[in-house]
Amino acid sequence: MSLRNSTSGPIKTVSFHQNWSAYAFLAPALVILFLSLLLPAVATLLMSFTDVSFLKPTSFVGFDNYIKLFNDTRFQQAVGNTIHYTIGVTFPTMVLGLLAAVALNQKVPGRMAFRTIFYLPVLTSLIAAAVVWAYVYEPYAGPLNGVLTRVGLPPQPWLQDPSLAMNALIIMAIWRDFGTAMIIYLAGLQDIPNDLYEAARLDGAKGRDIFLRITVPMLSSVTFYLLIILIVQTFQVFGAIYVMTQGGPLGSTETVVYQMYQTAFGYTEFGYSAAMSTVLFLTILAFSIIGTRIMRRKDV
Amino acid sequence: MARLELSNVSKSYGAFDAITDVSLAIEDGEFAVFVGPSGCGKSTLLRLIAGLDPISDGAIRIGKDDVTRRPAGTRSVAMVFQSYALYPHMTVYDNIAFPLQMERRSKGDIRQQVEKAANTVHLSTRLKDKPSKLSGGQRQRVAIARAIVRKPKIFLMDEPLSNLDAALRIEMRTELTQLHKELGATMVYVTHDQLEAMTMADRIVVLNGGRVEQVGRPMDLYHKPVNRFVASFIGSPPMNMLRGKVKAIESEYYSFEAPGIGTIVIDGLAERLKVGEEVVLGIRPEFLAPHPAGSEPLVKIGVVPRSVERLGAQTIVHSAIEAQNFTCIFAGDQIVEPGRELNVYCDAANIHVFDAAGTTVSRK
């Protein structure tokens, strides 16, 4: 009894003191987060219930912007384009990143050089990369069509044909993002104990079985993490489209974020754009929550 | 099951020789234990047998087959790893079934074999669990079941009990010995624990610095170590080592002068030593008694106990002679007071003599 009395006081004091220190250290970050994220998010949500355009008096419109949004065929096309882009970028990026990581996890000559080369696109400026790729896709003087012509294939209007433009953007995004996937997979691969591979070899497993039965399942947490990161990232694609296609031709590369930008700053319909932004935010939030829950369940 | 034969096996990593010219035969159905201190090459040798690392020189035969250049999965060996190496994403059933799945056996056959192996290691009720739900001992059993399900010619075990607590280790030691009897399998077991080696092995292979120091039955190694290394490695607490010199030789009687003790007379040595030659005298702690006992000539040694450990069945007395640790094991009820000098006695026939190079001077 006396022991309990003698220890309860000091423990509480230390805990209280530690909390204060923790809050003091967190405060600057919390203030910045509040001003840069939470405040604009709440302002956007409020704006989505108005017809604010800065050209006329603002009035409260309730759910009108949302009702308009779900009946807007242009928005539906943008959602379709975004899903096309997301699926087109996410899965090939992950597969290529995994294959590159597995290859460069072996003791092959020059693996450090290859790792650097594959990761370099991630470090380049998106705008600079987009300008270079716009040149690569250029229909008359572009090197891609130059190669096609040389091997006897017809040149293609990569960014001018509605059926090709989105895929052209996807290829550029894969080129830029697979280095990230490779680095994350490499970290995951190095976490797999070598004993498991040795046990599998002794159990008679060969390359394909080891890859499918050991490597891939052991990387499932990394795969889920990458999947969520890439979905969230590709859902918000803007820069490359702004530089290379401006959403064209015929709206074939207009994604949700690009349309949000156009609606707000092109047509000055800030309220309507805010409603799009809110829907996008809720979609991404839903993916993040589902992904986090799956990952947590897998960890258990 | 099969015989395992290593012929002049060597393994080098650059300039470092991990294994040097090891030749060894392990008979069909034998339980052989590789024992030695950390870094002696015992696990490396096991990996060479498994095919996980290529050998630099020599040959390995399993039964009639030369498997020297065969890859790991084709040697018909199964290995239990120190870390268990269970596949964490698979259930116990799939872990055990994995080697059979790799052989593309039918589902019915796999189920039958897995259930049989699980029964052998008492895991039938845990087949649907993931390894993370199992205790250390149960994980160890899964690893053993995964090894036995393949019916390999040779079982290799790399310190399989070192991650278990003391009580479980003793239990698993008995179970493994029992399993060896049931299966009649050829087993090669690696450990740094001489107690495990003594209790489990049909034959012990003592390794040091990548070389085989001695191969023999446990009690042969205990009573007739070929050199100082084996003498001090086998037995716990280790053999007491006292420096001395040959003082005189009269017929079969050798007199040794050992600082801190005086003159010790030993007879029956087969090899000739020269007067003045430096030697080391080895006495096992358990062969020392607090009263004169045994056959003549008896050796009397005066010690001052520094500390006394009472283990119940035994009393371990720690002292020092000429700055060398000197340990005695007495009966549990022996009264010993630290700091108070006492005489201990040893039958001279139980004293080992090692020459200056550390080789045992044999007896007739």
Domain, as residue range, for B278: 240-354
Class of domain A64-299: mainly alpha
Which of B83, B88, B98 lies nearest to residue A203, judging by beta carbons?
A: B98
Domain-located, residue B41: yes
Closest CA to B194 of B30, B36, B26: B36
Q: What is the pLDDT of residue A12?
A: 52
Domain identity same for B191 and B305: no
**pTM confidence score:** 0.82
User: Lowest-confidence range among A210-219, B202-211, B267-276, B347-356?
Assistant: B267-276
For B131, left (φ over 0), alpha (ψ -120 to 50), or beta?
alpha
- pLDDT of B169 reads 86
Task: Supply the pLDDT for residue B299.
Answer: 87
Residues B135 and B203 in one domain: yes
- A positions 189-218 inside 8 Å of B (CB): 193, 195-196, 198-206, 209, 213-214, 217-218
Say if residue B250's pLDDT is above 90.
Answer: no
Domain termination site, one of B233, B259, B281: B233
In chain A, where are the structural domains located?
A: 64-299
Q: Round to whole Å and give the CA distance between B283 and B180.
A: 34
The continuous run of DSSP H or E covering A289 comes out as helix A270-299
> How far, in Å, CA of B173 to CA of B188, rounded?
14
Q: How confident is the model at residue A300 (pLDDT cuts 50, 70, 90)?
A: very low
Q: How many CB pairs under 8 A join A and B?
A: 56
Tell me whether residue B363 is in a domain: no
Q: Does a structural domain hold residue B362?
A: no
For residue B42, is it within any domain? yes
Structurally, chain B folds into a number of domains equal to 2
State the pLDDT at residue A14. Answer: 56
How far apart are alpha carbons B352 and B360 in whole angstroms? Answer: 7
Shared domain for B125 and B12, answered yes or no, is: yes
Facing B73 at nearest CB: one of A201, A213, A217:
A201
Residue B361 lies in a domain: no
Looking up residue B60, the CATH number of its domain turns out to be 3.40.50.300
Same domain, B202 and B82: yes
Give the model confidence (pLDDT) of A222-280 as tens digits.
Answer: 998 899 899 999 999 999 999 999 998 999 999 999 999 999 999 999 999 999 999 99
* CB-nearest partner of B99 from A193, A204, A217: A204
| B364: in domain | no
**Whole-number average pLDDT of chain B:** 92
Quick one: what percent of chain B has pLDDT higher than 90? 78
Instruction: Tell whether B206 and B278 lie within a shared domain.
Output: no
- Starting at the earlier edge strand, list the strands of the sheet with B65-66: B16-26, B4-13, B57-62, B65-66
Alpha carbon of A94: minimum distance to chain B alpha carbons (Å): 21
B53 & B102 share domain:
yes
Same domain, B227 and B300: no
Do the chains contact at B85 and A198, CB–CB below 8 Å?
yes
- B360 lies in a domain? no
- CATH code for the domain in which residue B277 is found: 2.40.50.140
Query: B186 and B250: one domain?
Result: no
Task: Answer whether B232's CB lies under 8 Å from B239's CB.
Answer: yes
- Answer whether residue B252 is part of any domain: yes
Confidence of residue B227 (pLDDT cuts 50, 70, 90): very high
Q: Is the ipTM of this complex over 0.90?
A: no
Tell whether B80 and B22 lie within a shared domain.
Answer: yes
**pLDDT tens sequence across A40-91:** 999 999 999 999 887 788 889 999 999 999 999 999 999 999 999 999 999 9
B129 and B68 fall within a common domain: yes
Q: Is A298 helix (H, G, I), strand (E, B) or coil?
A: helix
The distance of B81 to chain A (nearest Cα, Å) reads 8
